[in-house]
Amino acid sequence: MKKIIFILFLLIFIFFNLGKWIDVTTKAIESDIVICLGGGTIDRVKKSVKLIEEGYVLTDKLLLIGESWYNQPYLKKNYPDISVEIDETSKNTKEEVLFIKKYMKKHNYKSALIITDSPHSRRVKLLLSILLKDDNSRKYYIISSDVKWWNRQYYYLNERARKFVFYESIKILYHCIYDSKLFK
């Protein structure tokens, strides 16, 4: 009976603290480039532009990855002076991270601000550590897109946030099993 109570208490504790664990975003720091990951809404692009306007990006260059390319008309209309490069080939976060690795190396960039939604940040950080472990010369800062529906402390009060955390948790487990050396 004590084990059941302990396990129940542990599960409740994990549930109420999962938002704080899954959100590993940091504050922006001056970097060579801003990279907007795909799969999100216009919030990621708006945050990327804001960081460029605030002077965090040394090159005034924005790299759109994955499905974020569909925001290009918005950028051309509202921010014609921002240099935009696009990768339409990446179909998931793992492919995006691998593309970032090649792109950074090709252009000799040493630092990047990677914009994504906060509950996606733990998986991005995990994939960066697994797939780029051989590249210690570059720094990656994962920055929140500042979506209005996210609250790391009370994520469970918002249906969208709850679902996002649930699916991200499953994907994190998948990457731990299949992409890391932990289980090989």
Q: Is the dihedral of CA 98, 56, 64, 26 positive or negative?
A: positive
Whether 184 has a pLDDT exceeding 70, the answer reads no
Instruction: State the average pLDDT for the chain.
Output: 91
Q: How many helices (H) and strands (E) does the chain have?
A: 6, 5
Name the residue among 37, 145, 24, 119 with its Cα closest to residue 86: 37
The token pair at 151 is 């609250």
Looking up tokens 């509950």 gives 119
Q: Strand pairing partners for 62?
A: 34, 84
The reply to whether CATH 3.40.50 applies to domain 2-178 is yes
Q: CA dihedral defined by 8, 10, 11, 15, rounded to 10 degrees?
A: 140
Is residue 83 classed as helix, strand or coil in its secondary structure? strand
pLDDT confidence of residue 84: 86
pLDDT band at 158 (very low <50, low <70, confident <90, very high): very high
Domain boundaries, the chain: 2-178
Q: Rounded CA gap, 97 and 77, in Å?
A: 28
CA distances to 26, 51, 73, 110, 155 from 54, rounded to whole Å, are 16, 5, 22, 20, 29
pLDDT band at 183 (very low <50, low <70, confident <90, very high): low
pLDDT tens for residues 20-50? Answer: 999 999 999 999 999 999 887 789 999 999 9
pLDDT confidence of residue 134: 81
pLDDT tens for residues 53-81? Answer: 999 998 877 888 877 777 888 888 998 88
